[in-house]
Structure 1
């Protein structure tokens, strides 16, 4: 054993540590991201932010492993571009810089804990192991220090730019209204030029990340104009950028509006607007301003969980129950499995069975109505419904017995694979 240990130099042990990180990269990134979200919970409030954080973490890991194995100088360390983008997005969203730096320190600790265990395993615990651990600690500390300095500068520069324009100042007013740090509605109305005492309908909207930020601003303005044709009785509108690809929009309305998601989705298609939209419910006064914004935010999170192929327009009125349940996706996945049984397995046959059963139950159990809605023969609907109920394994005939299955079916329609059970491969 001692001869085997002596055969490895410090450089070889460090190289083996790096290769093991690369081999287990995806699993390690998942664990590290979970650790950072747990210890810095303010970074775990949005699926899009989680995606950006994981992208930056992946790039930082790759760069850190390169720096670990080469002789590059401290001045050669460069923060990955996606890490800088993440810092700028946090600045735009008014997330404290301390949370960002704390996440880096948590990530550093997790990296060193795993790296030192690998070094002990490959070095055998002798002088080579000690030398390898010292090397890993020193190089990692240098890398993190330099990257934290660079992302900190990117954060501060973006923060100054963002707050320095009118949109940033208005965003600050809205942030204070939403978190309750100001209740001076009169001053807020003057700054925002928006009537806070009226009824409100909040809308979250976002573009794809590949769209140029300048183009995104134009798209959001075009969306406001397009929705103005739908809510033509509006007494005022308020458009606030959240970051370069996301915005909040409020319409001040005299009464509760009817939100036709299908019609609005067609409107977006007709005007070629590359956005997704999440509507809150209607609320009145300052409390209603906050409540409809919170509802729109829940719907947006639901839409993000559904992935790129989800509906472009969702309304809180239509998806409120699933939006509330989706705040704990693991619990929702268990609920779907419990209610749908084998119908919760993710395969093409079950997809058709779930959709047929969902339409059938939503249409007051009318085979004819379901057949018309789905564009198939009535006998096909009867066959699929029978097969679906057999897979669920319970009767839904008694009054109210179909409530939970209907909710589970709506969750699968909106979220797909995110709440379904993967199909087992061949043995």
Structure 2
């Protein structure tokens, strides 16, 4: 009878631990994901990978909590589908399998550390058997899931590398990291002139689009852009994964990209894709440089989310893209430069846009009025209001650089860099 009471007490403690995890799930996932990214830097490449990792972590947490509280055997453990998708994406992106397994072990340690603290808090004298139960069941769950995601990774890796797109990806990776020492061999495999001038494009589709459709979208995108860069001396398209691709156009000279015109072209052709463009670079060093610029522009676009335009050109957003590498610091910069104008509300939105256009137009009220399609007096009123909120002197010339940069950051990133509006009492 005493043993039954102890067993029931242990079961109750485990249940309370699970309930607490569920209550604090969002905060725990955020902290655990941050820990995994810190300890496994290979997984901290961009916002999309972070989103995929958090989705898999959330599903694993829910499944693990269920496994703690039921009598399922190790043969009943199934890795969540989103965890398998994440493993396949890492395989396509050539992220080492060891990084994935390491993340699971870091996650396991973080989960157990928190679970044992909860068990001690709720268990009192029966916390030890509760902890033993949690450790044993968690180990069984993680071992089974690691084996399954490992198999999914290896199968996808074999499939991906086995096709020509995967082979091109491998060679491009070697060129970008400097391990491809034979430029002639690389050019022969890639069928692309690496020693000429380059402009890079990073494109991606919605993850809900099926892979076969995504391939067709990228092919149509390549053909559409071939018309834009009609003097290209070569084109290279390399898949990053099933929903992302890199393209390079070998150009004889620098060509400015009209983002608005490209966006209209994509809309006219009904292509469900987003794209960012690099600047111009020459030779293998320029090939690498344009890839880095396109990567930074893509990270900026992902940070902006649906608020961001479908098409970006790196030369147009270079300063903000560089600052966005540390989003917390950029948010502080915006707050310092814009003061009360950094509050996220409808009124400030119009004031910021008016001031941005006014400063970009060399402080011309007439030009700003034309651009915004409002009366000149409206522009004057809004500019005065905006400068009052910033605390800037409207007669101070030559001091526009930082405010203009902060205003561009708010235009591109919106709420990601703004201060939430204080709730009204």
Same fold per superposition (TM over 0.5): yes
Cα offset for 1:273?
A: 0.6
Kept in 2, the 8 Å contact 1:412–1:420? The answer is yes
Candidates 359, 373, 376, aligned match of 1:375: 373
Secondary structure, in 3 states, of the residue corresponding to 1:281?
strand
Q: Show the 5 A alignment for 1:25-44.
A: 25-44=25-44
Report what 2:236 is aligned to: 238
Stretch of structure 1 that moved more, 298-307 or 177-186: 177-186
Cα separation, 2, equivalents of 1:318 and 1:15? 54
Secondary structure, in 3 states, of the residue corresponding to 1:263?
helix
Q: Gaps spanning 5+ residues in structure 2: where?
A: none
Cα offset for 1:394?
A: 1.9
Report what 1:265 is aligned to: 263
Cα offset for 1:50?
A: 0.3
Kept in 2, the 8 Å contact 1:346–1:421? The answer is yes
Report what 1:252 is aligned to: 250
CA deviation string 1:216-245 (max 9, x = no partner): 000001001001111000000000000000
CA deviation string 1:202-261 (max 9, x = no partner): 000000011111000000010010011110000000000000000000000000011000
Cα offset for 1:369?
A: 1.1
Report what 2:411 is aligned to: 413
CA deviation string 1:4-50 (max 9, x = no partner): x9897000000000000000000000000000001001111111000
Cα separation, 1, equivalents of 2:151 and 2:268? 42
Secondary structure, in 3 states, of the residue corresponding to 1:306?
helix
Cα separation, 2, equivalents of 1:294 and 1:329? 18
Kept in 2, the 8 Å contact 1:396–1:402? The answer is no
Kept in 1, the 8 Å contact 2:341–2:389? The answer is yes
CA deviation string 1:141-196 (max 9, x = no partner): 00000000000000000000000001001100000000111121100000000001
Report what 1:156 is aligned to: 154
Candidates 167, 170, 185, aligned match of 2:168: 170
Report what 1:216 is aligned to: 214
1:131 pairs with 2:147:
no
CA deviation string 1:78-99 (max 9, x = no partner): 0000000000000000000000
1:339 to 1:203, Cα distance in 2 relative to 1, 3 A = same
Cα offset for 1:400?
A: 2.2
Cα separation, 1, equivalents of 2:360 and 2:227? 30
Cα offset for 1:286?
A: 0.3
Cα separation, 1, equivalents of 2:6 and 2:371? 74
1:139 to 1:396, Cα distance in 2 relative to 1, 3 A = farther
Cα separation, 1, equivalents of 2:275 and 2:394? 34
Report what 2:88 is aligned to: 88
Kept in 2, the 8 Å contact 1:204–1:249? The answer is yes
Q: Show the 5 A alignment for 1:98-109.
A: 98-109=98-109
1:14 pairs with 2:18:
no
Secondary structure, in 3 states, of the residue corresponding to 1:203?
strand
TM-score when scaled to structure 2? 0.98
Cα offset for 1:376?
A: 1.1
Cα separation, 1, equivalents of 2:403 and 2:263? 27
Kept in 2, the 8 Å contact 1:8–1:123? The answer is no
TM-score when scaled to structure 1? 0.97
Candidates 334, 343, 360, aligned match of 2:332: 334
1:364 pairs with 2:362:
yes
Cα offset for 1:379?
A: 1.0
Cα offset for 1:309?
A: 2.9
Cα separation, 1, equivalents of 2:332 and 2:116? 37
Cα separation, 1, equivalents of 2:171 and 2:410? 38
Candidates 198, 201, 204, aligned match of 2:202: 204
Kept in 2, the 8 Å contact 1:368–1:378? The answer is yes
Cα separation, 2, equivalents of 1:145 and 1:273? 42
1:344 pairs with 2:337:
no
Report what 2:59 is aligned to: 59
Cα separation, 2, equivalents of 1:65 and 1:209? 28
Cα separation, 1, equivalents of 2:267 and 2:24? 43
Cα separation, 1, equivalents of 2:174 and 2:75? 40
Aligned length: 421
Kept in 1, the 8 Å contact 2:119–2:130? The answer is yes
Cα separation, 2, equivalents of 1:288 and 1:7? 67
Cα separation, 1, equivalents of 2:140 and 2:7? 29
Q: Gaps spanning 5+ residues in structure 1: where?
A: none
Report what 1:47 is aligned to: 47
Secondary structure, in 3 states, of the residue corresponding to 1:276?
strand
Cα separation, 1, equivalents of 2:244 and 2:64? 31
